Amino acid sequence: MRLEHLTEAEEDHWRGEFAQENWIFGSLTLSVTLPEFSGGTPSLQRMHFGYYLQPLHLNADDREDLPRRLAHVLARRKPPIDFLELAGAGLRIPHAFPPGFTLGSVLRIVLQEMRRLPLKEPL
């Protein structure tokens, strides 16, 4: 597995693509102070934990069900994308993938499958 990160321009591109479908796309990072890894002096570090998708649909059923339905559809396709995690009201997309996948390909497939999901109340 290799780690992948999007540049700021790529993140903005995907943010715009997912916003057209009424979903939030963002990066998950954690700011931590790790004195034991910086020679004993506290230093602020950032740890990257992948990316996050969350629907912004007004209908509560869609807002809660869409991440689960999307994860189910993606896990059953060939080849399966079964490494996404349900997290709160959305999906966490890791920044490391099995061989054959890249971050860009996973995001394209997720967007494609997301567009096929029927909504209970169309926008």
Orientation angle between helical segments 60-76 and 103-116, nearest 10 degrees: 120
| pTM confidence score | 0.80
Say how many CA atoms lie within 13 Å of 83 toward its Cβ.
Answer: 16
- Using one digit for the tens of pLDDT, what is the confidence trace for 81-90? 888 888 878 9
60 pLDDT band (50/70/90 cuts)?
confident
